[in-house]
Structure 1
Amino acid sequence: MRVWAVANQKGGVGKTTTSIALAGLLAEAGKRVVVVDLDPHGSMTSYFGYDPDALEHSCYDLFLHKGSVPADLPGQLLLPTSNDSISLLPSSTALATLERQSPGQSGLGLVIAKTLAQLWQAFDYAIIDSPPLLGVLMVNALAASQQLVIPVQTEHLAVKGLERMVSTLAMINRSRKQALPFSIVPTLFDRRTQASLGTLRVLRDAYPQTIWNGYIPVDTRLRDASRAGLTPSQFDGKSRGVLAYRALLKHLLSQQLVAQVA
C-alpha cells in the first residue's frame, strides 16, 4: 500500500475534491483505494452520501483504545462508496473532541498508521483527507503518509496558509526517520483574474523545487460531481478539472518512483 495525505492549514483550498479525484483516477487504473476522512467537518463522508452527524461508527472509534487499534476494527468501519474500488473510513463530528481528550495520552499520533497497517494487503492506496488545523488528527495524517499533497488556492490568503503548512511539515520531519516528500498543487485557478495569475507566479517563485508545474482550474463539473456523489472521473472524465487531475496523478506517480529509488 502507498499512503498519500492531502493537507493544508487553511480550509477551502480543495483538499476533499483533490483526495476524491485522485482516488477515482487510481480506481479507474485498477487500484484498490481506501479514503480516510480525518476532518471533523466530514466533507468526504458527506460527498459519498453519509451523514457524519448520524453515523454510529467512524474513525473516532479508532482513537478510543489508548493508542492501540483492536484487530479487525478498521475493516469493520469501512463503508462502500459510489465506486466499487473505493472504500471509505468515515469521519464524524466526534473527532472534534479529540483535542480535549488527547493531553496525557501517549501513542495517539500513530493511530492511523496502525490502522492502515491492518489494511495493508487489502488496498493498493490510501488517501487521507486531513483537517485544516494542526493537532492530533493532522499529526496522524502526516505520520502515516509516505507522500504529501498540499493544495493551495491561487489567492493571496492561501499563500499564508501554505507558509504555516511548510513550517508544520519541517517540525514533523524532525521526528521522522525520513523527510516526507511533498508536492504543492495550485487549485481553483482562474486565468481571467489577476489574483490567480499573480498568486501562481508568487508560488512558483517561492517554491520552485516543490510546486507542481500545472494547476487545477475552476471547473463547475467538479462541483456537479460532488452533488451527484460520484468521483469527478466517473461523472465527466473529459472535463477540464479531471484532465488536470490526470496530469497531477502522473506527476505524483513519478515522484513516488523517485522516492522509492531513493
Structure 2
Amino acid sequence: MRVWAVANQKGGVGKTTTTIALAGLLADAGKRVVVVDLDPHGSMTSYFGHDPDALEHSCFDLFLHQGNVPQGLPQELLLPTSHERIALLPSSTALATLERQSPGQNGLGLVIAKSLTQLWQDFDFALIDSPPLLGVLMVNALAASQQLAIPVQTEFLAVKGLERMVSTLAMINRSRKQALPYSIVPTLFDRRTQASLSTLRALRNAYPEQLWPAYIPVDTRLRDASRAGQTPSQFDAKSRGVIAYQALLKHLLARLPASQVA
C-alpha cells in the first residue's frame, strides 16, 4: 500500500477536494483506496454522506489505547462511500478534543501509521486528509505518509501559509529516517485575476523543484460533485478540474520510488 497525505496549515485551499479527486481517479483505475479523514471538521466524512456530529465511532477511537491500536479496530471503523472501491475512515468532532488529551501520552504520533499497517493487504492506496493545524493529527498524517501533496490557493495570503507548512515539514523530517517528498499543488487558479497569475509566478520562483508545474483551475463542477456526494470523476469525468487532477495524479505516481511502483 502507498500512503499519501494532503496537508496545509491554511484552510480553504482545496485539501479535501484534492484528496477525494485523487482517490476517485485511483479507484476508477481499479485500485482499492482507503481515505482517512483526520480533520475534526469532518469535511470528507460529510462529503460522503456521513454526519461527523452523529457518528458513534470514528478515527478518534484509534487514539484511545495509549498509542496502541487493537487488532481489527481499523477494519471495524471503515464506512462506505459513493465509490465501491473507496472506503472511509471517518472523522468526528471528538477529534477536536485530542490535543487537550494528548499531553503526557506517549506514542500518539504513530497511531495512524500503526492503524494503516493493519489495512496494508486490503488496499492499494491510503490518502489522508489532515487538519489545517500543526498538532498530533497533522503529525500522524505526516508520520504515516510516503508522499505529501500541499495544495496552495493561488492568492497572496496562501504563500505565507505555505512557508509555515514547509517549516513544519522540515521539523518533521528531522525525526524521520527518510525525508518526506512533497509536491506543491496550486489550486483555485483563475487566469482572469492578477492575484492568481502573480501568486503562481511567485510560487514558481520560490519553489522551482517542489512545485507541480501545472495547476487546478476554479471549476464549479468540483463543487457540484461535492453537493452530489460523488467523486469529481464520477460526477463529470470530462470537467476541467478532473482533467487537471488526472495530470496531478500522473505527476505523483511518477515521483514514487521504484520500490513502491506496482
- Output the TM-score relative to the length of structure 2: 0.99
Q: Name the CA distance, whole Å, in 2 between partners of 1:235 and 1:166.
A: 33
SS in 2 for 1:3: strand
Q: Judging changes above 3 Å, is the alpha-carbon distance between structure 1 residues 172 and 213 closer, same or farther for their aligned structure 2 residues?
A: same
The alpha carbon displacement at 1:260 in A equals 4.9
Q: Cα deviations across residues 152-176 of structure 1 (Å, max 9, x unaligned)?
A: 0000110000000000000000000
The alpha carbon displacement at 1:257 in A equals 3.9
2:188 counterpart of 1:188: yes
Q: Name the CA distance, whole Å, in 1 between partners of 2:72 and 2:228.
A: 31
Q: Name the CA distance, whole Å, in 1 between partners of 2:37 and 2:231.
A: 15
Correspondence for 1:201: 201
Q: Name the CA distance, whole Å, in 2 between partners of 1:141 and 1:156.
A: 26
Please provide the CA RMSD for this pair. 0.9
Q: Name the CA distance, whole Å, in 1 between partners of 2:253 and 2:25.
A: 12
The alpha carbon displacement at 1:64 in A equals 0.2
The alpha carbon displacement at 1:259 in A equals 7.5
The alpha carbon displacement at 1:198 in A equals 0.2
Q: Cα deviations across residues 65-88 of structure 1 (Å, max 9, x unaligned)?
A: 000000000000000000000000
Q: How many residues align?
A: 261
Q: Name the CA distance, whole Å, in 1 between partners of 2:39 and 2:220.
A: 24
Q: Judging changes above 3 Å, is the alpha-carbon distance between structure 1 residues 110 and 64 closer, same or farther for their aligned structure 2 residues?
A: same
The residue type equivalent to 2:101 in the other structure is: Q
2:229 counterpart of 1:235: no
The residue type equivalent to 2:3 in the other structure is: V
Correspondence for 1:53: 53
Correspondence for 1:106: 106
Where in structure 2 are the equivalents of 1:1-262 lying within 5 Å? 1-257=1-257, 260=260
Q: Name the CA distance, whole Å, in 2 between partners of 1:220 and 1:118.
A: 38
Q: Name the CA distance, whole Å, in 1 between partners of 2:196 and 2:188.
A: 8
Q: Name the CA distance, whole Å, in 1 between partners of 2:131 and 2:26.
A: 22
Q: Name the CA distance, whole Å, in 2 between partners of 1:157 and 1:105.
A: 35
The alpha carbon displacement at 1:95 in A equals 0.1
Q: Name the CA distance, whole Å, in 2 between partners of 1:239 and 1:181.
A: 29
Structure 2 stretches lacking a partner, 5+ long = none
Is this contact kept in 1: 2:2–2:260, CA < 8 A? no
Q: Name the CA distance, whole Å, in 2 between partners of 1:110 and 1:137.
A: 10
SS in 1 for 2:87: strand
The residue type equivalent to 1:114 in the other structure is: K
Q: Cα deviations across residues 200-219 of structure 1 (Å, max 9, x unaligned)?
A: 00000000000000000000
- Output the TM-score relative to the length of structure 1: 0.99
SS in 2 for 1:95: helix
Is this contact kept in 1: 2:8–2:151, CA < 8 A? yes
Q: Judging changes above 3 Å, is the alpha-carbon distance between structure 1 residues 106 and 93 closer, same or farther for their aligned structure 2 residues?
A: same
Q: Name the CA distance, whole Å, in 2 between partners of 1:169 and 1:61.
A: 26
Q: Name the CA distance, whole Å, in 2 between partners of 1:212 and 1:259.
A: 22
